Amino acid sequence: MTCPELMLDQDILHRMLAGRTVLVCVGNEWRGDEAVAPLVAGLIGPSNRVSVVNCGETPENYLGVIASSKPDSLVIISAVDFGGAVGELRVVGRREIGAFELATLAPRLLILTDYVEAETAAATWFIGIQPASLEFGTPLGATVAEVGRELAGAINEAIWGPRSRGPAPPRG
């Protein structure tokens, strides 16, 4: 399988990561390509300016942690079926989140974004990755995994510069 070219404009990525940023990775590792968000979370290098919250399926449980970091930007990463090609990325602002077919996740994401925006005035972005499968018990697909690695590399590069496209060093 080949990976579709990562279509994420570096200018937009730099704008999303401006100032203090919280990356909120939403996904269940047991639901096929939903595991891409936890994968991305594990590959982002630690930074004083950008923090990563791997919140599984329950972003609402992390409201306090996210808001207390007083972010300038909130970037939510998740697999979402928007009818695109497998591995395709879509980047939207807070007001366009409703355009995605997020099923039961949408209300929780809107609670999260509304709360964090009210507490911090953070700009909110959403990066959706088109899955092949969200079926429980299926593994993360190769194409979506490769896109996740490329996305993490692009984020690391935006944070640390062009020499940091690889995986983050081990934490601890």
Tens-digit pLDDT profile for residues 81-137: 888 899 999 887 766 666 565 545 566 777 788 888 888 889 889 898 999 998 899
pLDDT at position 96 is 65
Q: Mean pLDDT, the chain, as a whole number? A: 83
Residue 22 lies in a domain: yes
Q: Output the pLDDT for position 2.
A: 39
3-class secondary structure, 12: helix
pLDDT value, residue 101: 57
CATH of the domain at 155: 3.40.50.1450
Residue 167 counted as domain residue: no
Strands lying side by side in the sheet with 123-129? 50-54, 21-26, 73-79, 123-129, 89-93
80 occurs within a structural domain: yes
Q: Nearest-CA neighbor of 145 among 27, 62, 16, 45?
A: 27
In a domain, 52, yes or no: yes
Residue-range definition of the domain harbouring residue 81: 10-159
134-152 residue pLDDT tens = 889 999 999 999 999 999 9
With residue 24 as reference, give the H or E element that holds it.
strand 21-26
For 147, list phi and psi in degrees, rounded to 5. Answer: -65, -40
Neighbour count for residue 141 (Cβ, 10 Å): 20
Instruction: For residue 53, give the H/E element and its range.
Output: strand 50-54
Q: What is the total count of domains within the chain?
A: 1
The predicted-structure confidence for 39-85, as pLDDT tens digits, reads as follows 999 999 878 999 999 999 888 899 889 999 999 999 999 998 888 89
pTM of the model: 0.85
